[in-house]
A and B are shown apart, each in its own frame.
Chain A
Amino acid sequence: MNIVKSDPRVVYFSTLMYRFLLITYPKDFRQEYSCSMAQVFRDCCLRAFHTRGLLGMLSLWSLTLTDYIESAFEEFTRKAAHLNLSRFVRLSGWALILGTAMFLTGVLVGRLRSWHGSAFDPFNLYSRPIDQFVEVLSYILIPSAILLLTIGVMGLYLLYGTKAGLLGKMGLEAGMVGGGLALATCLGGGNFGLTQFLIINTIGGFLLFDLDMLAMFLLFGGIFTFSIAAIRHQLRSSWNFIPLIAGALIPLRILLGYLQEVTTEGFARWSLDMQMANTPILIITSLGLMALGYLIVYDAPKEEHISIGKTGAPDTV
């Protein structure tokens, strides 16, 4: 198409060789720009040949080869980064859904446990055989669920972080920090934070400044903060309230729980109401998180869309 037989022979063969080189660019880039690139290269060849002859052609080829290596490498790197990124975002949506299911299971299974202390305490007369199984299952389910939830928040950050503004970005960053902290406290032998809080609702002073409570507050509070940005900036054409459902109730529950602890006597009746509210809170939050996970999967850039170049390139031009 760009090769003209009436061109000087050296220009003709140079253009032919350059078209062969273009085959090695990523397919989408090649389909979009190879004709234009070959045409520009031919124009450059004609100018170089007519102004400086063969020496000009040699000089042009040295510049072109360097340009070819650099730009082909860059296009492949960007494409690989894009593919990995879009795949990660989509998987993070599934991670959020799976993590929520595991979290819910962990909490519900934990309710089967006896309320009389650790199942591993051989001197605990009240412990039942099922307690040990439940405790081990909780040890596996809860940290895994928190890890998956944190990956889900990372996916949210990658997908909507730029559009969510400073507040939304900071919320999701806090969410990721909270997820990491929750995971660290779980693996470090913490109290399983929210699980224990929702199951036992201990009114002991040790919960007041509990690290894993702080972690959970950051994780869900981060999602709540993001939800404000999502509604304010209308990140999607619809369903912008979903992050609010996923993130609002647990931070509120934690705050009210602390308030309840500080003023227990005055809030005795309220305390009972709040214990009753734990299950609906958990179910509503879980539904919100699962819906949010689905939105991430749905909104994640599709690999076939890369060819039109609308998404995902690293933030440099």
Chain B
Amino acid sequence: MAHASQSNDELLPLTPAVFNILLALADGEKHGYAIMQEVEENTGGLVKMGPGTLYGSIKRMIEYGLIVENDERPDPDLDDQRRRYYCLTAMGKRHLHAEAKRMLDQVVAAQGKGILNEPV
């Protein structure tokens, strides 16, 4: 019943929290607070995750093999050694790519219907 072998399609569409965490980790490993800040920045403050949602999502993403915790701790002079760093797995990258493409397809479909050209 391990989930790590699930194909892309079985986990798509991703929840906004999971997609945003994957996106935050796309350019390298980060700790929880840095992920939270990046998600807030990326979404213009629209998505604000509390610690419960953040670590609940992280727990499940580790279970599904989308991310892993990096055992190597940064230089103690540069950062707090107690912080836990997470990074994307190959599967996580594939899911991020698949979800981004799925969203892009929807945007293209919306464009095709001229929705983005209409003044709101």
Contact = CB atoms under 8 A, between A and B. Distances in A.
B5 interface: yes
Given A39-B32, A317-B14, A309 B52 contact: no
B64 A317 contact: yes
A316 interface: yes
Contacts of B84: 36
Nearest to A314: B60
Interface stretch (B43-51, B70-78, B100-108, B111-119): B43-51
Size bracket, chain B contacts: 35 or more
Size bracket, chain A contacts: 35 or more
Interface in B1-23: 1-3, 5-6, 10-11, 14-15, 18
Contacts of B49: 67
Contact of A71 (B3, B6, B36, B56): B56
A311 B2 contact: yes
A63 interface: yes
Contacts of B83: 36, 39
Contacts of A265: none
Contact of B1 (A43, A75, A301): A301
Chain B at the A interface: SS class: helix
A67 B82 contact: no
Chain A at the B interface: SS class: helix
Nearest to A38: B51
A271 B83 CA distance: 74
Contacts of B57: 317
A66 B50 contact: yes
Contacts of A103: none
B30 to A, nearest CB: 12
Interface of A: 1, 25, 29, 32-33, 35-41, 43-44, 63-64, 66-68, 70-72, 74-75, 89, 158-159, 162-163, 301, 309-313, 315-317
Given A68-B52, A71-B52, A309-B62, 4 more contacts: A37-B54, A67-B52, A310-B2, A317-B15
